[in-house]
Amino acid sequence: VSSIPSENGRADFDSATLEEEFLQRALNNGTSDSDEDRGYADPVLDDLYARRVLVSEHQTSVNTDSDKFLPKYWTPEEDLHVKKIRLGSQRRPWYKKMQGF
C-alpha cells in the first residue's frame, strides 16, 4: 500500500489504493462460503439437533393445540376447586343477569 506523507508527519493513504486493497482482501477471503469450510452436524454433540428432536417428540397428538392454555398436570383437588368456582359464580346475581335469566 502506497502512502503519501502529510504535513503532520502521518502517512495518508490514497483512497484508490485502499479500495483496491480492500477489494483484493475481500476476493481472497471470500472463499468462506465454499463447501470446504462448512462442517457437518454431529447428531450426538449438536445441541440444536437434540432440541429439535425433543420438540418433535413433544408435538404429538397427545399435546393438541386446544390444550395449549390448560395446565399440564390437573389434579383432582384442582378440578374440585374449579368446579366450586364455576358453581359459585353461577349462583351470583350478576351471572344470572349476564346470562339473561
Instruction: Give the pLDDT score at 7.
Output: 55
Contact by Cβ (8 Å): 24, 34: no
Reported confidence tier of residue 41, pLDDT bands at 50, 70, 90: low
pLDDT of residue 20: 78
Q: Which segment, 5-9, 19-23, 54-58, 74-78, is predicted with the most confidence on average?
A: 74-78
Sign of CA dihedral 43, 49, 52, 54: positive
d(Cα 4, Cα 98) in Å, to the nearest integer? 86
pLDDT at 80: 85
Summarised one tens digit per residue, pLDDT across range 54-91 is: 666 655 555 555 556 666 667 888 888 888 887 777 77
pLDDT of residue 92 exceeding 80, the answer is no
For residues 19-29, give the mean pLDDT: 74
Measuring CA to CA, which residue among 95, 71, 75 is closest to residue 85? Answer: 95
Q: Which amino acid is at 45?
A: L
Instruction: Give CA–CA dist 40/100, Å, rounded.
Output: 65
